[in-house]
Amino acid sequence: MQVFLTTLGCRLNEAELAGWSRDFRVRGHRVVSDPNRAQVMVVNTCAVTGEAARKSRKLVNSLHRQNPSASLVLTGCFAELEPERAASVAGVDLLIGNRDKDQLVERVLEELDIATMPGLASEPEGSHVYGHAGRTRGFIKVQDGCRHRCTFCIVTVARGDERSRTIDELVAEVAGLRAAGLQEVVLTGVHLGGYGSDLGCDLHTLVEAILARTDIPRLRLSSLEPWDLPDGFFSLWQNPRLMPHLHLPLQSGSDRVLRQMGRRCSTSAFAALVAEARATIPGLTVTTDVIVGFPGETGSEWAETVDFVRRIGFAHIHIFSYSPRQGTAAARLTGQVSGPDKRERSRQLQGVALDMKRAHLSQFLSQVRPVLWEGRGQDQGDGSCRWSGYTDNYLRVDTIVAAATGLENRITEARLDRIGSGDSVVRDHRESLDLRMLAAVL
């Protein structure tokens, strides 16, 4: 059987997709990149905002039109939160809630009555059965759910309580990804910093175990809420295999708005956390999330957010315009901010974010950073082609090399010479591989 897997939304969804890909392959089925070739299509949906839910429906409709004969399976937060609406989308054959995601492959094979071949019957020993073939970076879901309830967040409603996977299981999965040739693993979760709350351990212990018991060259953490981090957490970065990038969601720079959001971190505590991290981790990149136009947010409170963001100095900001999600406490709040005000505040923050990004890039001029090259891009028409990758501290890098040069899944050193147009950093001089470096944080 040929299976097409796709997702919208967070890295946790990507990690789940990689796990299903592995499990389908182990059971003898083929994962394909073209939906038109599939007998089964699985969509991991998102509903973090109303727009994300709309995009999920649009994607499902599009896939059904492309391949109406394929069985269509929906899972993810849209399927969990709006099951009747999800089930009514044209072509949907099976709906699987978030709490049953770990059994998705078994349920697809059983409920769609699909015969399973012997394990690995269709692929030779040692092939890329972990994640997606050809990928250099693997995402691993280490926990699901969250015991906290930020008032704007529908994901905690959709994902339920915290559930962590065991350290031995996760170490084995990282080792499997490494054996399949991957150079980097990203640990993900709904509340990653809360890992182990149900097992009597913590994220520090997990990271320490992975670094000690595997030889994965690069280990990276996805989004971390700025609380519940174990004592001495930043000392882990003494190991250079743990990548110097932290994504710490701020959401607002106003303490009153943070309290309304149900956040468990004040601005002073957030600033102290970032200062400690920067003092401990050389070359650290810090990125964040900000919600624009939370109910009741005044003009002066928005100004507090902009001022706080400037003082911290982020390398990149994911900017979200607030939209009410039925089932959250914030949806019942009065004082909704108008659309024009939210758009103007977003434009203002985008300008600030661009200035900070360029300031961050300027810190690394003339430095040499290791880059993991991920994929070949467009041919340049002169015997050269463009490749892209990421530095250890998550700066996006493009390079132009001779077309015959193979960079995929290699880690090489690169020096960044100057900031170019937009938000790029340009490598002026050529090295032995005839590299011309261009870098930009995404």
Tens of pLDDT, residue by residue over 58-87, are 999 999 999 998 999 999 998 888 888 888
pLDDT for 427 beyond 70 = no
- Convert the pLDDT of each residue in 185-199 to its tens digit: 999 999 999 999 999
114 Cβ neighbours under 8 A, 6+ residues apart: 1, 29, 39, 40, 108
pLDDT for 303 beyond 80 = yes
**CA torsion angle 192 307 439 393 (round to 10):** -30
The two three-digit tokens of residue 93, written as one number: 């054959």
Contact 93, 112 (CB under 8 A): yes
Neighbours of 23 (CB within 10 A): 18
Compute CA distances 60 → 6, 93, 420, whole Å. 10, 12, 40
Query: Looking up tokens 């100057």, which residue turns up?
Result: 418
pTM: 0.79
pLDDT of residue 423: 56
Q: Are strands 425-426 and 368-379 parallel, antiparallel or unpaired?
A: unpaired
Compute CA distances 42 → 20, 95, 196, whole Å. 10, 10, 29
